[in-house]
Amino acid sequence: MRRILIVALLIHCSSVMQAQQTRLQQTNFKPAQVWLANNGHPINAHGGGVLFHNNKYYWYGEHKIEGKSEAQFADGGIHCYSSTDLINWKDEGLVLSVDYKNPASDIAYGCILERPKVVFNEKNKQFVAYFKLYLAGAGYVTSNVGVAIADKPTGPFIFHHKFHGADSPNGSGDFSMFKDDDGSLYHLTIRKPDKAFVIGKLDSNYYYPEGAYTVCKGIESHTEAPAVIKREGIYHMLGSGSTGWKPNIARYYTAKSILGEWTNQGHPCVGYNTVNSLGVDKNFGSQSSFIVPIHGIKDSFIAMFDIWQPENPITGRYIWLPIDFVEDKMSITWRDSWNLNMFKKTIREK
Ligand code: GAL
């Protein structure tokens, strides 16, 4: 009798474990649907970016505090997840927290800490995190670039310093950090308060801008949410207009030199979001944050977008879509469900 009970218990436990694994092992990207991490909680990494290091991807994003609206200061720091397949993500926790104890800290609770991006500096072997930083109590007026440093991709990141960027006392807003083939790191950003789009190069430590910023000819003013990649010697930049948390149509530019001149390519999106019925005029209800180059599959990139929920930001979802290149121009088509096999197929067809 006892043996029968033990066997029944073992069978029960193994089927529960199997059910959990099936629930957590995901095979497809499902844009705009709830995306769970390995612990069963929705991924909390908004306005983020992805770093590939030693065969692993690290997704860094804004950690939104449960129960807070944007107006009530929802930013809790930088949350990190790791993955080998870009679909199943392990929660690595908060790798930089806002400071709840010291109100004089640059990252004191109540600050606005947005759009974190992490870059690896080969020279110093440091992981450098950048984020938009508005000091607590200062509102969306003077924007700084916050810089934090870690010696492991999973942190902890230690706040290091801040700079204004864009050679402007009012600082810079949404940005992209682009590391070129020669290791030069560029800060592409919107200048405050005139909203011109500018680019500056960082020093070899990746700590501060070095030299003057250049206005990017060809990129319209009020361009936000930039995400930059290089493909076959051409720079491609995805972005948006400036309508706060509300979505607007995507912007797309290309250039032969990162400093410009840039060519306006209209917008790259096709179709509509079947979850919220929003089309390309509202960019599927989302705003760009980053483009992920896929390692091991040539010329394959994923566009990352955020669906903002300013009333309850922790519930904001993500839209990750594959980028097709049609006559060397980006095209981003809505898909309800997809996976990386799609890129392999495109390559075979070529
Ligand atoms: C957006 C920006 C977001 C956030 C928001 C606030 O334009 O991309 O990161 O700052 O404005 O309204």
Give tens-digit pLDDT for 135-182: 998 877 789 999 999 999 999 999 999 999 999 999 999 999 999 999
Which mutation among 131, 144, 174 tests ligand 1's pocket best, with the greatest number of atoms within 8 A of CB?
174
Q: Which residues contact 201 (CB under 8 A, 6 or more apart)?
A: 184, 185, 186, 187, 209, 210, 211
Ligand 1 site, CB within 6 A: 47, 114-115, 174, 224-225, 242, 244-245, 287
Arithmetic mean of pLDDT, 98-111: 97
Closest C-alpha among 324, 305, 327, 194 to residue 239: 305
Reduced to 3 states, what is the DSSP secondary structure of residue 276? coil
Residue in the block written with tokens 């977008």: 305
Single pTM value for the model? 0.93
* Residues recorded for the chain: 350
pLDDT per residue as tens digits for the range 42-88: 999 999 999 999 999 999 999 999 999 999 999 999 999 999 999 99
Start-end of H helices in 85-236: none
What is the Å distance from ligand 1's center to 153 Cα? 26
DSSP 39-55: TSSBP--EEEEEEEETT
Give the closest residue (by CA) to ligand 1 atom 8.
225
Start-end of H helices in 188-306: none
- Nearest atom, ligand 1, residue 224 CA: 8
Start-end of H helices in 179-257: none
Question: Tokens at residue 272, please?
Answer: 């509509």
